[in-house]
Structure 1
Amino acid sequence: MRKKLRVAAYAICIRDDQLLLARSPAPTGRGHEWVLPGGGMDHGEHPNDTVVRELEEETGYHIEVTALLGMDTTHRVVPWSYHRKVDHHGVRIVYEAKIVGGELRNEIGGSTDMAAWHPLDDVSGLTRVPLIDIALRLWRERPPVGRLEPAPK
């Protein structure tokens, strides 16, 4: 089975008790879901540069990274091409950032179709990827080693 490693960097941007999110088509092909601005690293790129580039592409904003909040990983076997599967390992680096320039706009021709601010109190009611909740926990708890303990059940 083919093994695939994907490293990506994302940003939590909070301003006036609102969280900046981007919207992406759901993988099921039905509807959309909200995601954190960010994405995959290019070969040779530093993750800090990745999140700055990706956030500008997806939202129009220029950011300054203010903190490294932590990391999360995913590991699963997923369908691939020609009826094969791939052993996928995702490493997701989460930063805190502040907006320092640019203007909110939607991405054109990319993986997202909308960018918007959402009140923090409304985020739990959005159709969203699990990484948003993980990133918000990292932002709130700020674990010293950048790794969350499993959520209480």
Structure 2
Amino acid sequence: MTEELRVAAYAVCIDDDRVLLARGIEPDGPLWTLPGGGLDHGEDPLDAAVREVAEETGYTVEISSLLGINTLRQYYPRPNGGQADFHGIRIVYAARVVGGTLAHEVGGSTDLAAWVDLDRVPDLARVDLIDIALELERARPPHGRL
């Protein structure tokens, strides 16, 4: 079994009861997610969140607070045989848009960015991170974990 570790940073941007989302390109079809993604080697997580939001949405954001850290562990088959033991560490920040223009990423891991009404989120095909992050934003647990 191959062990895989991925550390990623994401931003929750809420404005007028809307949340900024990006649509990820997945093998089984598109899923909405938060703007964000994996850290480059040596990159600070806060800087990664700001960079990823810009890449995936066209916006410049300012991080206002750390909301929490979520971990994910799952097992899945590897394409060339065997199995992977995946451990994801997802760092979630609250952020606000301070510049830029909404744009869609070209040639990356997402293909669409949009402001989505919060009451429409439950109807979206989405990753679990959206629900986790919105609950972190709502609850603001002092230990950063639900």
TM over 0.5: yes
Distance in 2 (CA, whole Å) between partners of 1:25 and 1:108 is: 11
TM-aligned CA deviation for residue 2 of structure 1:
1.5
Distance in 1 (CA, whole Å) between partners of 2:66 and 2:31 is: 25
Q: Identify the match of residue 130 of structure 1 among 122, 128, 131.
A: 128
> Could you give the per-residue CA deviations for residues 117-151 of structure 1, whole angstroms, max 9, x where no partner exists?
00111111111111000000000000000000xxx
Distance in 2 (CA, whole Å) between partners of 1:25 and 1:62 is: 22
The aligned residue for residue 22 of structure 1 is 22
For residues 37-116 of structure 1, what are the structure 2 equivalents within 5 Å? 37-116=35-114
The aligned residue for residue 151 of structure 1 is none
One-letter code aligned to 1:107 = E
RMSD after superposition: 0.9
Distance in 2 (CA, whole Å) between partners of 1:115 and 1:139 is: 20
Identity rate, percent: 58
Structure 1's unaligned 5+ residue stretches are: 149-153
Query: What is the aligned length?
Result: 146
Distance in 2 (CA, whole Å) between partners of 1:82 and 1:132 is: 31
SS at match of 1:136: helix
Structure 1, 32-41 or 19-28: larger mean CA deviation: 19-28
One-letter code aligned to 1:47 = P
> Could you give the per-residue CA deviations for residues 95-130 of structure 1, whole angstroms, max 9, x where no partner exists?
000001110000010000000000111111111111
The 4+ residue runs of structure 1 with deviation greater than 3 A are: none
One-letter code aligned to 1:103 = T
Structure 2's unaligned 5+ residue stretches are: none
The aligned residue for residue 4 of structure 2 is 4
